[in-house]
Amino acid sequence: MKSSKHASLKERDIRHVKIEDVSTLYSIYEFQEEIGHGSFGIVVSVVEKQTNENYAIKIVNKHSTGYTSLSKIYREIKILKTVQHPNIVYLYKVFESTKKIYMVMERCRDNLLNVFQDKKPFPEKRTKKIIRQLTNAVYYLHKHAIVHRDIKMENILLARNPENPKDDYFIKLSDFGLSVIKTGSFIQGMMHDRCGTMLYMAPEILLERTYSELCDVWSIGVILYTLMCGKYPFYDKNEMKLINLICNESPDYSLAELTPDAVDLLKCTLVKDPVQRSTTLEILKHPWLMEHKLKSRKDETIIDYMKKWKNEMLLPGQESDWMRVSRSDYSMVTGLSLIDKDTLTLKSEASHSPV
């Protein structure tokens, strides 16, 4: 097996302290209101007594979380201990008792979805700013063999920009519970398990095919479309029909006054065939985002690397084998026909609502 050619990251010196109970934290922090919750537990706003600095503590109940979810938390901690990027949420400390895990993280004011719902759609300039930051963060992850796998607006937080206090759209990518660190190059580094949030999931994941970090690029495309058009590119309350839309239909690009460059970038990211999909570096070099260029010679090496990887995925002909899905394969996954789109059987309701 080939070894990974990605740049490796060293774990930062993050304190991981064993404690008896929460009383240790009460002596260090002043606990305030709950600012988030989920299947893992809750997130609480705190102030460090000695410095008066604001933080957020993610509290995980180890006994009620379950083994699978707990393993995701430990995986998230491992990744957050290694990454360091201005657009990725920062982990400061970890406290752990026999019953709970406490992750001390930077305090962010809100998530992108909440803000977007009040101000949708976003103007192009604001969208461009957000997508540039998001793509830079994901480019950094991919360069270091990390695939996020759950990029969505709820996991994009709005934080204080240390260089510009008036910046209301300085973002932080968060929630690395589904993320993986690739251990191989090219085909050896492919993933197989189906995970993520369906509205943002790439076709190859929904079709239960092997997939790569390019699944994150699809999610970036979904967010780009949603921010500018005010709705998801693919949506249906029925889960099976939603899968059919994602795998077979094209978004409506007439819903907003999209510039030709914006439409072109959307078509580069929302490509059904992942082999034809742009990489994060290619997105950053796209005319729509060219105000800030990456000029490092290493970047050209990454482009060559990605092109080599893409070429390995292609079989003779114009179409990737990934998207040569037979009618029986598709029906097995979705219960839907690739041909008869007018007689789709509605089987289950999706848990999501339109933006």
CA distance 139 to 121: 25
Q: Is 74 left (phi over 0), alpha (psi -120 to 50) or beta?
A: alpha
Give every CB contact of residue 140 below 8 A, 6+ residues apart in sequence. 83, 85, 88
Q: Which residues of 270-293 are buried (b: 16+ CB within 10 A; e: fewer)?
A: bbbbbbbbbbbbbbbebebbeeee
**What phi and psi, each to the nearest 5 degrees, are found at residue 41?**
145, -135
CB environment 13-44: b (16+ within 10 A), e (fewer): ebeeeeeeebeebeeebeeeeebbeeebbebb
Return the closest-CA partner of residue 142 out of 5, 11, 10, 262. Answer: 5
> Quick one: CA dihedral 174, 179, 184, 186, positive or negative?
negative
Q: Which residues belong to the active site?
A: 150
Specify the amino acid at residue 82.
T
| Pairing state between β 41-48 and 29-38 | antiparallel
List b or e across 202-211, with b for residues whose CB sees 16 or more CB atoms inside 10 angstroms: bbbbbbebeb
Which amino acid does the sequence have at 324?
R
Tokens of 254: 């007439």
Flag whether 307 is marked binding.
Answer: no
Q: The tokens 């180890």 sit on which residue? A: 62
Element holding 239 (H helix, E strand) = helix 239-248
Residues that constitute the known binding site = 58
Residues that constitute the known binding site for ATP = 58
